Amino acid sequence: MVNRNAKVILKKDIKRRVFNGHPWVYDNEIEKIEGSFEDGDIVLVYTFANQFLGIGYINTKSKITVRLLSRKPVEINREFIKNRILQAIRNRYSITRENAYRVIFGEADGLPGLIVDKFDEYLTIQFNTLGINKLKNLILEVLVEIFSPAGIFERTEGNAVKKEGLEEFSGWIYGSGPELIPFEINGIKFLADTKGQKTGAFLDQRENARKLREFAHDKICLDCFSYTGNFGMHLLSGGAKHVTFVDYSERAIEVAKEIAKLNGFDKDRMDFVVANAFDYLKSSYEKSKKYDIVVLDPPSFAKSASSRDAAFKGYKEINYRSMKLLKSDGLLATASCTQVVSQSEFESILVDAAIDAKVLLRLIYRGGQPVDHPQVYNILETMYLKFLILQVSPINN
């Protein structure tokens, strides 16, 4: 599988990031490329001093021109893919006994561009780069051997995929299954929507939602950016008096209603609202609504450094609005899911919002990613999720 005729030679003074374990080689870090190749081929990478650095797949259409698969001169074949996936499973420890978890998390598991989630007896998969897409058949063979799934659903979509030169695709590529795939997290029934976002459901907040459930009993709650209701369902299962789910997607709200029915939650304990969360928070404040718990789990406000300022403003606004909606000593459960905004920056934004809202913030819980979304310190992009539960109290108490 390796094109040994093609040789990528790096510039002399590139950042140590690549030598210290990061798998990305940018176009401006390459001195020259020798030999013939096609985009998506697996090529050899050498330092300026002609020392072997690794093997990775190439795409000259991308600013990330090479993504390294191995630092050893190995063959990238079925055995290599199988070993990588088995190692990823071992690295998940006891979480593999659960009904749903992330099997492969791209670069963090040594398979850049690949995302695989397990939902009960089904797998959903994303091939986000041209190079990993060329390995699709081998990857599928190995996944079928290891998991014997009833079906594998592929969801390869988005601007990043188009930039890679890939055609978008969504559909069953092995076996078949339902449009809404049932699974369980923390004893709660959920549905992964094959027509929804990403792989159909977000598994990275499972531990944070379980923690928040501990505070739910008899509380009136607001779940903003709820998608299909992960946090809100945990609150209901923890005995919340009432939960309002808010999301801009009508389909997501309809799926959330189905999930609530599956779990037998009393419909009088919940409301479902299709609305822009920014607008809803503002209108709730104007109507003097008050909550015991407000959850903010927004999508990534910053995909790149160029959108940092807009992200900072967005985070500050929704958190400020939420602080004003909380009863005295109420809880704000707030998250950021972009690596572009660091933990310290996110917490600084919250402090600024609290100063403007004239409230005190008391940290109750600081969470992050579960073990199936591994964080590799050498690859900062893998460290994206911040989550805090904060008690919010008026300064003049």
Q: Which residue type is seen at 14?
A: I
Residue 68, classified by CB atoms within 10 Å of its CB into exposed (0-12), middle (13-18) or buried (19+), is buried
Q: Where are the beta strands (DSSP E) in 79-187?
A: 100-105, 114-119, 122-127, 151-156, 169-175, 180-185
Question: In the Cβ-directed half-sphere of 94, how many Cα atoms lie within 13 Å?
Answer: 0
CB 42 within 8 A of CB 56: yes
Instruction: Give every CB contact of residue 62 below 8 A, 6+ residues apart in sequence.
Output: 27, 129, 130, 163, 164
Tokens linked to 80: 């290599």
Catalytic residue among 43, 235, 337, 341: 337
Convert 26-53 to b/e letters by CB count within 10 Å (16 or more is b): eeebbeebeeebebbbbbbbbbeeeeeb
Q: Which of 120, 149, 124, 136 is nearest to 199 (CA)?
A: 124
Round the CA-based radius of gyration of the chain to a whole number and report it.
23
Whether residue 224 lies in the annotated active site: no
Active site residues: 337
